[in-house]
């Protein structure tokens, strides 16, 4: 059986303000209507959201193409789409 592939929600990352210690659930499947956050749309896809805690209070650029190797933070993978 093939490994499930995420849907590209958008090609550019999304800037989000997070506070140090804030924990979020990042959508890894690309199906959430509330990008970049999980809304439960992954059920049945075989792709699970990623729990992630901000290490500092700042703007983070979260991946929305779902191709990053450092999820949820953008690593520039969208440039190869």
The 3-class secondary structure across the chain, one letter per residue, is CCCCCCCCCCCCCEEEEECCCCEEEECCCCCCCCCCECCCCCCCCCCCCEEEECCCCEEEEECCCCCCCCCCECCCHHHHC
For residue 21, the model assigns a pLDDT of 98
- What is the per-residue pLDDT across 17-59, written as a single tens digit (0 to 9) for each? 999 999 999 999 999 999 999 999 999 999 999 999 999 999 9
Query: Strands 23-26, 50-53: parallel, antiparallel or unpaired by DSSP?
Result: antiparallel
Residue-range domain boundaries for the chain: 1-81
- pTM of the entire structure? 0.93
């Amino acid at each position: 059986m093939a490994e499930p592939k995420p849907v590209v929600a958008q090609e550019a990352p999304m800037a989000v303000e997070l506070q140090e210690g804030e924990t979020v659930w990042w959508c890894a499947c690309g199906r959430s209507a509330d990008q970049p956050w999980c809304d439960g749309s992954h059920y049945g896809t075989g792709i699970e959201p990623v729990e992630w805690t901000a290490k500092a209070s700042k703007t983070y650029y979260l991946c929305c193409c779902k191709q990053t190797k450092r999820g949820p933070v953008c690593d520039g993978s969208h440039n190869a789409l």
